[in-house]
Structure 1
Amino acid sequence: MSYWPSMILLDELDKRILQQLQLDATLTNHALAERVHASAPTCLRRVRRLMNEGVIARQVAILAPDKVGAGLTAIVEITLDQQATEKLIEFEQTVTTEAAVQQCYRVSPGPDFVLIIQVADMNAYHALAHRLFATQHNIRNVRSFFSVFRSKFETRISLS
């Protein structure tokens, strides 16, 4: 099993399309074509190809956490007792079922995982931590950091 998926070669038009969609995925095909200086049929074909090849993973609305009652961000480091592949996968499967876990990264060196968690408040975090971490037998250490201010949040990937 490869951890590094094959990279898709992108030409300049693909990159212009992706840059515009990262800024505003609600653009109509016609508006997108105008912005990238291509015909509407060409643009539509390119977007479909980029979606079919998995370059565009999905299109979503990004919410403001504090406006929807999820104002506490926790960055959590997890170290497991046993790091066998099946134990790592087992942990990942457990946390991916939890909606409050926004991101889960296997990392090295240091802890085994870093999680980004978005919850309403400290009480919600304690409930989640008990449910996800305290009841798991293979967790050696949990280290949590709480965001007091977010100075940058970006979803765009540089295509230069």
Structure 2
Amino acid sequence: MENSLLLDDLDRRILEQLQMDSAITNQELAQRVHASPPTCLRRVRRLHETGVIEKQVAIVNPQKLGNTLTAIIEVTLDVQTAETLRAFEERAVAETAILQCYRVSQGPDFVLIAQVADMPAYHDMAHRAFTSDANVRNVRTFFSIHRGKFDTRTPVTAAAEQKR
């Protein structure tokens, strides 16, 4: 998001509603945020054009697709130059089983979240993504036994408060 873009109360209400259900009609959105449909349409279009809304997606239940194993993976590289970090990140994000990829400080170089069907699928993915990379020094994986919370919403009030 550009630093010069200020979100007003209507923008925040629109973002809150769309993060809960992006499939609602513009008419329904306008009713929920107490604005006219043309105003909502203009605001949503601007939020897309400015990159505040990156994309709209369907959230799929991985259990229903047989992807029952969630892995939280710490990866430490042997050499941490800008080029080697970028190269590893490119390989990680290209791997479809890896849902999230974070470059982190104070500890491993990367933390990854992966979703796979089972342990053999994890081993296949780990071999492709880590074992075949000579620059990977250490991989430490934690397997989720229970998910207490999963949410895709970004708090819009916190972002707005920082703008003031």
TM-score exceeds 0.5: yes
Q: Using the aligned pairs only, state the percent identity.
A: 60
Tell me how far apart the structure 2 counterparts of residues 107 and 97 of structure 1 sit (CA, whole Å). Answer: 19
CA RMSD between the two structures: 0.8
Tell me how far apart the structure 2 counterparts of residues 134 and 9 of structure 1 sit (CA, whole Å). Answer: 46
**3-state SS of the aligned residue for 2:156?**
coil
TM-score (norm 2): 0.93
Quick check: 1:30 aligned with 2:57? Answer: no
Task: String of CA shifts for 1:33-87, please: whole Å, max 9, x gaps.
Answer: 0000000000000000000111001100111111011110000000001111011
Judge conservation of contact 2:74–2:110 (CA < 8 Å) in 1: yes
Tell me how far apart the structure 2 counterparts of residues 155 and 135 of structure 1 sit (CA, whole Å). Answer: 32
Q: Name 2:74's counterpart in structure 1.
A: 77
Q: How does 1:8-157 map to 2 (within 5 A)?
A: 8-157=5-154
TM-score (norm 1): 0.95
Structure 1 runs (4+) greater than 3 angstroms displaced: 5-8
Q: Which segments of 5 or more consecutive residues in structure 1 lack a partner in the other structure?
A: none
Tell me how far apart the structure 2 counterparts of residues 75 and 96 of structure 1 sit (CA, whole Å). Answer: 15
Judge conservation of contact 2:2–2:50 (CA < 8 Å) in 1: no
Tell me how far apart the structure 2 counterparts of residues 35 and 137 of structure 1 sit (CA, whole Å). Answer: 54
- Most deviating of 15-24 and 90-99: 90-99
Tell me how far apart the structure 2 counterparts of residues 52 and 30 of structure 1 sit (CA, whole Å). Answer: 20
Tell me how far apart the structure 1 counterparts of residues 140 and 7 of structure 2 sit (CA, whole Å). Answer: 40
